[in-house]
A = this chain, B = another copy of it.
Amino acid sequence: MEPNAIDADAASRSTRRGSKPAAAGSKARKPRDSLNRSVIIAAGLAIVKRDGLSGLTFQALGDELGAHATSVYRHFRDKDELLLEIIDTLRENSYGSDLVSTGDWRSDLHLIATQIRDHYLRYAPFAHEMSLRSTHRKSEFKNVEFALDALDRANLSPEDAVIYLRLIGNYVRAMSSFDASVSCLDPELRAKDYVQMKSASMILEKSEFPHLAESSLTLIAFDDPRIFDMGLNAILDAIEVRGNSGKQTAT
């Protein structure tokens, strides 16, 4: 973009190439090949676990690795690529092992849904990105195959299976990402919300908000884990009904 190469050239030429400092602030250069993708990914993960996603900067990466911040660019094109690689690594770890069917399609779908949700909650800061950016690795296909097989055993036609797979998939991703994101909110903010809600529902005009005034909305947390399960079961019920309706050719 900037064609001012001349100035930079002149400036660099004027810089002194004197002797080796070896003095005060001279930091030893990292040995060659001490950096690589996996080391950097591990460092990045450690940082996010410690300081959250906003703590993942090139500076922090450099500090964590004992290297210069920009060294990371030798291994990743940009920050986005690093982020996706971290997410992919986590995915591979969590979904790497083979899924064993319980034999019951419903249990199988419940199993895989829970597994994905647990993964999202464990690595909550990444949840939003994880839900949106798919990476088409083998582990992902294995999950899809597993779910499609369960839906087949639930007696769904291939066309229906695809649709309900999307429903389950989106449901699990969206709800898990939501709960994970909530869990990442500043605890201070969450407490404030809670108190506001509580006091508000006590102040409300009973005439204008009769149900709200009587209800105890605050008794159930925003990200109560039971909620996820109830919605999942509702969807599984719908699948069951759909499977049965397809089967009963006559009754």
Expressed in whole angstroms, the Cα–Cα distance for A134 and B216 within the complex equals 18
Expressed in whole angstroms, the Cα–Cα distance for A224 and B171 within the complex equals 13
A230-244: which residues lie under 8 A (CB-CB) from chain B? 230-231, 233-235, 237-238
Expressed in whole angstroms, the Cα–Cα distance for A216 and B159 within the complex equals 8
Tell me which residues across on chain B come within 8 A of A165, comparing CB atoms.
217
Report copies per complex: 2
Please, what's the 1-or-0 string for A159-194, where 1 marks a CB less than 8 Å from any CB in chain B? 101111111001101110111011001000100010
Known: A177-B178, A217-B162. A148 touches B212 (CB 8 A): yes
Which 7 residue pairs are nearest across A and B when measured between Cβ atoms?
A148-B211, A174-B178, A234-B238, A174-B174, A234-B234, A145-B209, A174-B175
Give the B-binding residues of A (Cβ under 8 A). Answer: 128, 131-134, 136, 141-142, 144-145, 148-149, 152, 158-159, 161-167, 170-171, 173-175, 177-179, 181-182, 185, 189, 193, 196-197, 200, 204, 208-212, 214-217, 219-220, 222-224, 226-227, 230-231, 233-235, 237-238
